[in-house]
């Protein structure tokens, strides 16, 4: 069965520092992988996704993630945090074309001025 683990329910970084949000998944086949961001009282917005091809995926707002099959990981990074990056971040996975999307528990990112 698919599952998603996000290490660290809360991460704090200083403005301008590197952002690293961790995501590990379990899947029996090469999965589709996603990162979503949720701002307070809003729905989810897709940051980036991996389906096939290049394992380094670039998304919106300067975020990127690398699919590492050997480590079953899909960590999200951003070189320099901005105050506007403070939000909840969800990693998600699905195994097949029409499979349901399984979300991780989320990581709350705080950016300290």
State the residues that interact with another protein by CB under 8 A: 4, 32, 36, 41-46, 49, 51, 90, 92, 96-106
Q: Which is nearer to another protein, 38 or 77 (CB)?
A: 38
What is the C-alpha to C-alpha distance for residues 7 and 106, in angstroms, rounded to an integer? 9
Q: What are phi and psi of 59, to 5 degrees?
A: -125, -160
Q: What are phi and psi of 32, to 5 degrees?
A: -95, 135
Cβ within 8 Å of residue 62, ≥6 positions away: 78, 79, 80
Smallest distance from the beta carbon of 31 to another protein, in angstroms? 11
Q: Which is nearer to another protein, 56 or 98 (CB)?
A: 98
Q: Which is nearer to another protein, 100 or 113 (CB)?
A: 100
Smallest distance from the beta carbon of 36 to another protein, in angstroms? 8
């Amino acid at each position: 069965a698919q599952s998603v683990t996000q290490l660290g329910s809360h991460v704090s970084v200083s403005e301008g520092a590197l952002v690293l949000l961790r995501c590990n998944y379990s899947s029996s086949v090469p999965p589709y992988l996603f990162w979503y961001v949720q701002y307070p009282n809003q729905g989810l917005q897709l940051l980036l996704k991996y389906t096939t091809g290049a394992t380094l995926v670039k998304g919106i707002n300067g975020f990127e993630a690398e699919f590492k099959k050997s480590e079953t990981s899909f960590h999200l990074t951003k070189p320099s945090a901005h105050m506007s990056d403070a939000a909840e971040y969800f990693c998600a996975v699905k195994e097949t074309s029409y499979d349901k999307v399984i979300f991780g528990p989320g990581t709350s990112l705080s950016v300290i001025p």
